């Protein structure tokens, strides 16, 4: 690897992450975003309609991502439901809470770690209670499993879909693979899966793989990738800092 000023970082989120790009560029990196997943409305809103028609049965709403906040509120507002009539809202972490609060919602206390299982494990007094989790069509079952172990339950209701990359994005990824990049950053397991499928047989060599958290790290390892960087906190800022430190450290070692 060369010095940090010439490093190229690829990241794969469906929408731009300005703070992530800014921090890397300020460190001298070139940044390329290739969206390996796309976000779309659910094929039907019937499940959300049914849930919103019986809001009184839910002890709370579990918000696990900024996308879940946006799409859940889109459904709520489209049905002219008063936001103040929603059950208590619980967010998985600071970024999700900030998204909700920016849209005028009040969020209860945050869990000690930004994981769905931690949120489900730390919610007080859940026995015999039902919670609503607006989520994607590929949502994991960790919240449901943890809640059921504690005597509660969760309705997972799809409010958005996660779709594969467009043909244009795949062509861009293949072109970047030909020219090379020093690090690739993943913010979700689904992006890891799409990357592995698009670049089947990809040789990692000295390219750094950076991930937002342990769940994404597990997905990367399952696809044969060596994980070099894990964000200390599940935020774009933390991941950008860890990538910069890693690339700088490797550059300094190579120069010796």
Residues 44 and 159 placed together within one structural domain of the fold: yes
Confidence label for 1 from pLDDT (cuts 50, 70 and 90): very low
pLDDT of residue 255: 32
pLDDT digits (tens, 9 = 90+) for 220-232: 999 999 999 999 9
Q: What is the longest distance spanned by two Cα atoms in the chain?
A: 66
Residues 85 and 132 placed together within one structural domain of the fold: yes
First to last CA, the chain: 12
Residue 250 confidence (pLDDT) above 80: no
What is the residue range of 108's domain? Answer: 40-163
pLDDT digits (tens, 9 = 90+) for 61-120: 999 999 999 999 999 999 999 998 999 999 999 999 999 999 999 999 999 998 999 999
- Residues forming a β-bridge with 163: 38
Q: Which of 133, 69, 63, 61 is nearest to 99 (CA)?
A: 69
Q: Name every residue whose Cβ is closer than 8 Å to that of residue 179 and which is 6 or more positions away in sequence.
A: none
Residues 97 and 206 placed together within one structural domain of the fold: no
Which residue is it, tokens 């010439």?
Answer: 6
Residues 45 and 114 placed together within one structural domain of the fold: yes
Residues 198 and 101 placed together within one structural domain of the fold: no
pLDDT of residue 6: 79
Residues 60 and 154 placed together within one structural domain of the fold: yes
The three-state secondary structure class of 103 is coil
pLDDT of residue 213: 93
Q: Which of 162, 153, 160, 66 is nearest to 114 (CA)?
A: 66
Query: Mind spelling out the 3-state secondary structure of 49-97?
Result: HHHHCCHHHCCEEEECCHHHHHHHHHHHHHCCCCHHHCCCEEECCHHHH
- Rounded Cα gap, residues 117 and 65, in angstroms: 14
Residues 81 and 188 placed together within one structural domain of the fold: no
Which residue is it, tokens 């950076």?
Answer: 210
For the ranges 4-13, 37-46, 75-84, the lowest mean pLDDT is seen at: 4-13
Confidence label for 243 from pLDDT (cuts 50, 70 and 90): very high
Q: Which of 163, 182, 197 is the last residue of a domain?
A: 163
pLDDT of residue 249: 85
Q: Which of 148, 163, 178 is the last residue of a domain?
A: 163
pLDDT digits (tens, 9 = 90+) for 116-162: 999 999 999 999 999 999 999 999 999 999 999 999 999 999 999 99
Residues 144 and 176 placed together within one structural domain of the fold: no
Q: Which of 115, 139, 163 is the last residue of a domain?
A: 163
- pTM for this entry: 0.86
CB 195 within 8 A of CB 184: yes
Residues 159 and 61 placed together within one structural domain of the fold: yes
pLDDT digits (tens, 9 = 90+) for 168-190: 999 999 999 999 999 999 999 99
Counted domains in the chain: 2
Residue 5 confidence (pLDDT) above 70: no
Please state, in angstroms and as integers, the Cα–Cα distance from residue 179 to each residue in 1, 174, 175, 182, 199, following that order.
14, 9, 6, 10, 14
Residues 144 and 184 placed together within one structural domain of the fold: no
Residues 123 and 196 placed together within one structural domain of the fold: no
Residue 254 confidence (pLDDT) above 50: no
- Rounded Cα gap, residues 47 and 52, in angstroms: 9
Residues 174 and 189 placed together within one structural domain of the fold: yes
- Rounded Cα gap, residues 235 and 24, in angstroms: 14
- Rounded Cα gap, residues 61 and 155, in angstroms: 10
The CATH code of the domain that includes 122 is 3.40.50.10090
């Amino acid at each position: 690897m060369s010095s940090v000023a010439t490093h190229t970082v690829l990241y794969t989120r469906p929408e731009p992450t300005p703070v992530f790009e800014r921090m890397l560029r300020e460190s001298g990196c070139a940044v390329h975003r290739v969206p390996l997943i796309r976000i779309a409305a659910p094929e039907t809103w019937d499940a959300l309609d049914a849930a919103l028609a019986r809001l009184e049965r839910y002890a709370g709403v579990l918000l696990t991502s900024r996308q879940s906040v946006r799409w859940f509120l889109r459904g709520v507002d489209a049905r002219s439901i008063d936001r103040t009539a929603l059950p208590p809202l619980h967010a998985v972490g600071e970024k999700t809470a900030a998204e909700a609060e920016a849209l005028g919602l009040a969020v209860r206390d945050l869990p000690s770690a930004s994981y769905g299982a931690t949120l489900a494990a730390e919610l007080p007094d859940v026995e015999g209670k039902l919670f609503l989790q607006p989520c994607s069509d590929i949502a994991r079952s960790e919240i449901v499993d943890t809640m059921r172990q504690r005597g509660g339950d969760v309705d997972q209701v799809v409010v958005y879909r996660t779709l594969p990359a467009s043909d244009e994005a795949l062509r861009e990824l293949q072109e970047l693979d030909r020219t090379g990049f020093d690090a690739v950053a993943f913010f979700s397991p689904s992006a890891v899966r799409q990357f592995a499928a698009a670049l089947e047989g990809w040789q990692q060599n000295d390219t750094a793989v950076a991930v937002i958290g342990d769940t994404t790290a597990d997905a990367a390892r399952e696809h044969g990738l060596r994980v070099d960087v894990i964000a200390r906190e599940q935020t774009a800022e933390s991941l950008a800092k860890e990538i910069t430190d890693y690339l700088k450290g490797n550059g300094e070692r190579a120069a010796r």
